[in-house]
Amino acid sequence: MGVAKRTRKFATVKRMIGKRDDRRKEDAVKKAELELKKKKEEAVREVPQMPSSMFFQHNTALVPPYQVLVDTNFLSRTVGAKLPLLESAMDCLFASANIIITSCVMAELEKLGPKYRVALMIARDERWTRLTCDHKGTYADDCIVDRIQKHRIYIVATNDRDLKRRIRKVPGVPIMSVMKGKYAIERLPGAPAT
């Protein structure tokens, strides 16, 4: 007995479901319903409570004497421009100001070494208010952003671009910086345009 010959079948294709088949539409509808349910579950989010001192975009907690929270970069730029810290801040704000330096800023200045010794001497002045930080680490930018989110009574003095970008996201917090040999204020209601 010989082996039976098998002939190959040409042009045979597996049957596929067409694009307009009803069975395909049911799967798409089920997927869409699942996505809608997920979106509805994710839509419940917590909106942070705005402080009672915020009236529209105006912060009524900012009153003289202003509380100026100073950053490391601002101190070094002040030294570079040979400006007196308190007098220049008062000239910019047209009011009295309390200079506040956090322990994170002091630690950052001490880490920078002898190049920033003049800025460190200015920061150690007894006229300025010192705030102790209760968090871990000594990164001053996070410390300042955390502090202004909790209490919007500060004007932040900085020349750091990244820190300015982070502060601008918090409504009602003005920014002071060193520009062209003097201090300039940004986002303070009633301040003259610079």
Letter for the amino acid at 89?
A
In this prediction the pTM is 0.71
Q: What structural domains does the chain harbor?
A: 61-186 (3.40.50.1010)
Angle, helices 103-112 vs 140-150, to 10°: value is: 170
What pLDDT shows up at residue 70? 96
How many Å from the N-terminal Cα to the C-terminal Cα in the chain? 105
What pLDDT shows up at residue 190? 66
What pLDDT shows up at residue 10? 67
In this structure, are residues 188 and 174 in contact, taking their beta carbons and an 8 Å threshold? yes
In this structure, are residues 129 and 100 in contact, taking their beta carbons and an 8 Å threshold? yes
For the chain of 194 residues, list the mean pLDDT of each consecutive stretch of 10: 70 71 75 84 67 73 92 95 95 94 93 93 94 85 92 94 93 93 85 56
What pLDDT shows up at residue 67? 95
Tokens of 77: 């730029």
